[in-house]
Structure 1
């Protein structure tokens, strides 16, 4: 097999055409020139392309595939074929590059298929890469770190702002910011989130500690004690404000109104930042500490700012 890869409704048509399956053009495995005119002749209907003629997209941000679910998809494809075509772009020497549908492509190999239905899109390399990343971000099963890296790539390679990324992917801006902040975690902690040992909620809570050594030590305890997200948040809050310690220019913990303390803790959990509240008979101020522009953007986003 020439291809290498990392193991890891249709809208109803109208008239007679909706009652008939779309015609498919079989592309042989031998390399041939893929002329745009030939592609346009099939009027957007899927080609049947040899799997070995399709290459993985180097901009693919998804790195892990559940082998059990992939096997289930392979069995379905073996029995019923690929229901939804993959999307590819034509490359030199008659080859193609995946834009969307890597799971279907991998599962088709596992199912022993020789070809796969594919729709060829005439797009630039930049458009293809953007489509791949955005399509992945719209999937529900992408893990938090894969999402964070995808957003980072959109920012780095396509110069997108967080607002633009939110619009393209249908997410709110605060979510984009929170995912990007995960990349501030030490690499080992990122790997634990990627493996599912820590959830997105756990990671957000740990970020409030800021210092690598404190995050690593707290992570070990969170995992060892199998803490829930709420327990981890309370644990981190305790580390940030140990009992008996008086926050700078803030009311001591033991004399703080319980409602004010709850509001402070909620802000810490939502923002993942250090927060102190000074309150005297219903008057006072909220102090939010930030360590960079991303943290500042998160604060503005939470306040409804642009």
Structure 2
């Protein structure tokens, strides 16, 4: 108990150091930075703002209330992590549930690790720490992976090293984002698992995905049952024969190909509508074709 009290007193002492304008630490090279960065500091809750990069978008109220009760009895056992914004101003990197629960029970302060980082580093820390430590649903994890790729500019290989997950695992999560938003919402709300979602990806048509999704909910299908249903649907699909051009259109396409000096390709849909594709081999070839199109318009 004496050891815990000593640590808490140290945290409060460092907190007082941060509130001293003469010790406004902004970088790891500043005076007294070594006393703060990486240490547990008791911070006023009012000096901390929520991290806009937090990947978790919803919090279970019952679980939050339970955590608040635990904190009221035992205090905050695991410190939150924050980054310094300015004088006595901090932003959450991870630990928003502990932050929210502490506010619920009216605590004036909370133990925190302080990091000095730019926005990109803060985002990476928030995403990586939450993926590793928080009970995120599969879509939230997938969105976190996507943000690491797009906003932090990590490759899947680099991400694999950062979070200790196989690249194939990361790829499987990212594929879930190809599902219809309705299905993604169902997964976030716990109506179906990641295994269900992976089975649905095998269906290329969104309408089919939604139909099977409704079956999963209605009949409470297991992952195995869903996989069998999807397999039966995919084996039933027969390749359709594309409509063919009649003789007059074939002749017209040949004339167009001769005019542009390139083999023009034709793509038709089931209804017989389609498009002409004119290939080009270089920038000069593209300009040549463009000139021919303009000349035909002016003619």
- Contact 2:37 2:114 (C-alpha < 8 Å) held by counterparts: no
Between the aligned partners of 2:118 and 2:132, the Cα distance in structure 1 is 21
User: Alignment partner of 2:112: what SS?
Assistant: strand
- 2:178 paired with 1:184: yes
Shift of 1:247: 8.2
Give 1 or 2: higher helix fraction.
2
- 2:7 paired with 1:21: yes
> Which residues of 2 match residues 79-98 of structure 1 at below 5 A?
79-98=73-92
- 2:27 paired with 1:40: no
Larger Rg: 1 or 2?
2
Instruction: Map Cα deviations across residues 95-147 of structure 1 (whole Å, 9 max, x no partner).
Output: 10011211111110112111101121122221111010001111351100000
Q: Where does the alignment leave 5 or more consecutive residues of structure 1 unmatched? A: 1-15, 249-306
User: What is the TM-score when the length of structure 1 is the normalising length?
Assistant: 0.69
Between the aligned partners of 2:20 and 2:160, the Cα distance in structure 1 is 40
Shift of 1:17: 7.5
User: What is the TM-score when the length of structure 2 is the normalising length?
Assistant: 0.71
Match of 1:128 in 2: 122
- Contact 1:241 1:247 (C-alpha < 8 Å) held by counterparts: no
Match of 1:60 among 54, 57, 64: 54
How many corresponding residue pairs? 230
> Which residues of 2 match residues 266-305 of structure 1 at below 5 A?
none
User: Alignment partner of 1:158: what SS?
Assistant: coil
- 2:226 paired with 1:232: yes
Between the aligned partners of 1:95 and 1:21, the Cα distance in structure 2 is 22
> Which residues of 2 match residues 138-287 of structure 1 at below 5 A?
138-139=132-133, 141-242=135-236
Q: Where does the alignment leave 5 or more consecutive residues of structure 2 unmatched? A: 241-299
Instruction: Map Cα deviations across residues 210-232 of structure 1 (whole Å, 9 max, x no partner).
Output: 21111111111111110000000
